[in-house]
Structure formats: structure tokens, C-alpha cells
Amino acid sequence: MRKPLVAGNWKMNKTVEQARELASDLLPGLQDVSAVERVICPPFTALLPICAMLKGTDIGLGAQNLHWETSGAYTGEVSPAMVKEFCQYVILGHSERRTYFGEIDETVNKKVKAALEIGLTPIVCIGETLAEFEAGRTAEVLTRQVLLGLADLTADQGGRIVIAYEPVWAIGTGKAASGIGANDVVAKVIRPALSSLFGEDVSSSIRGLYGGSVTGENAAEFFGQPEIDGALVGGASLKVLNFLEIVKAAAK
Ligand code: PEP
């Protein structure tokens, strides 16, 4: 059984004070839904105060990135150990990082390894662009992202990741994929690629999330699919009622 997981990616939103306010509005509702692994991913600056607020709860905290080196002259970067001080999870390979900050599969791979080595759970994002989708290249692109992004992991390490299928054309656009379409991609492309790396047993144990314009209204369509084990949520994770609706839908 794969426990459902819903993670909220706050992206570059919320000062410390605003983040505290959002977290305190979310906390009571989130605490009611223990059947779902719930994770919030505020910006780096808010990790310390939110970590303190989550103490004694079973709500997870995630960062949105890290650097693979342990320390040194990497101005502006944050190391795995620095993230581990506060977090249990880290989002890696998000399409916004690939698009705006030059991340490629090889750097995602270094980050995934570094996160696993320090004991963080990486939520590894993969997804095709609109042009790739329209050119019928979805399977090719996703297979490459899985094989290169997760290259050289042991099967044990592979079993500790979470994969998020996030079609780039669906992120922040209000145009979500269909539940059936996303399920098909996970079943026919992503799990076979995971199997080729880690074997079928490990592949079938890895949580497969969907991300891309998930809301309280459409969440059930995704969570009703056998291969979709939760969601990575951007915009709607900043709206208390909407995010709680998504989490509750995952519990059903
Ligand atoms: C995301 O940022 O991972 C995401 C899925 O964003 P949104 O829910 O806003 O489409």
C-alpha cells in the first residue's frame, strides 16, 4: 500500500510573518487528516519558524531545492545538511528550476543523491513541455528524466524517493491534465522506467504524485486513479480552504 502524500509548494511566496499566518491557519485542518502524509514547502527563509510551529505534529516540512555539495564557496546556495536541520523532504527538479535556473537531469541526479545520503525524502519532479507534448514526445522526455535524474541510485535509495509527474503545460495555467491521462502516463511510462532502474517491486512501491493546476474541485479526479498517490500543489497550497479540500480528497 502506498500512503497518499499531498505536498504544498509555496514557491517564492510569503515573508516569515505571512508564512507563519498561513501555517497557523492550515495547521488545525491538516492535523485532522492523518491518513494522508501532508507536507508544506515554504521558502528557505521561513523554514526555521515553520519548523518550530510543526513540532509535535506529524506534518512534514520540505525545502524547494538544495545544492549537492556539503559546504564551500557556493554563494547563494543551501547545503543538504542545512536543509536537513529543519526538513524531512525536498522538492527537486521542479520545472521552474529547469526552465529559469538551468537545471538539467545531471544536476537533478546529483541533488537526489545528496538528499538521500543525508536522509531527506526527495520529491523528484518530471514533466514534458507543451511543445514536447504536442510533438508526441511525452514518453521519450519522461523516460529520459527518470533514467538520468535517478541514475546510479541503489534499489534501496530508489524506494525512498517520491516522483511527481508535472506536465509543464499544466503548472500554474489552470489547465490540469485529465485524471485518466495522468494515470496512463504514470502506469505506462513512469513506472516502467522506474522498474528498469530498480525492479518491479521497488517501482510499484514508489509514490507517484500528479502536479499541475490541482484544486479542491478537481483533486478527486486524480486521487480516484489507481496510479496517482497524491499531489504536488502550487497555487492552491496558498489558499487554506482549497489546500485542505485537496488533502481531504486524498484521504478518501
Ligand atoms: C507546482 O508548482 O508544482 C504546481 C503544480 O503548481 P500549480 O499547482 O500552481 O499548477
DSSP states of 212-239: SS--TTTHHHHHTSTT--EEEESGGGGS
**Structural domains for the chain:** 5-251 (3.20.20.70)
State the catalytic residue, choosing from 166, 221, 227, 245.
Answer: 166
Q: How far apart are CA 249 and CA 230, in angstroms?
A: 9
pLDDT for position 90: 99
Q: What is the pTM of this model?
A: 0.98
pLDDT tens digits, one per residue of 156-187: 999 999 999 999 999 999 999 999 999 999 99
| DSSP code per residue over 144-198 | HHHHHHTTT--HHHHTT-EEEE--GGGTTTS-PPPHHHHHHHIIIIIHHHHHHHH
67 catalytic per annotation: no
Q: Flag whether pLDDT at 1 surpasses 90.
A: no
Cβ atoms < 10 Å from Cβ of 55: 6
pLDDT for position 114: 98
Question: Whose CA is closest to atom 2 on ligand 1?
Answer: 234
Q: Which amino acid is at 208?
A: G
Probe target for ligand 1 pocket from 39, 233, 238, with the most ligand atoms within 8 Å of CB: 233
pLDDT tens digits, one per residue of 24-37: 999 999 999 999 99
166 catalytic per annotation: yes
Q: What is the CB-side half-sphere exposure of residue 79 using CA atoms within 13 A?
A: 12
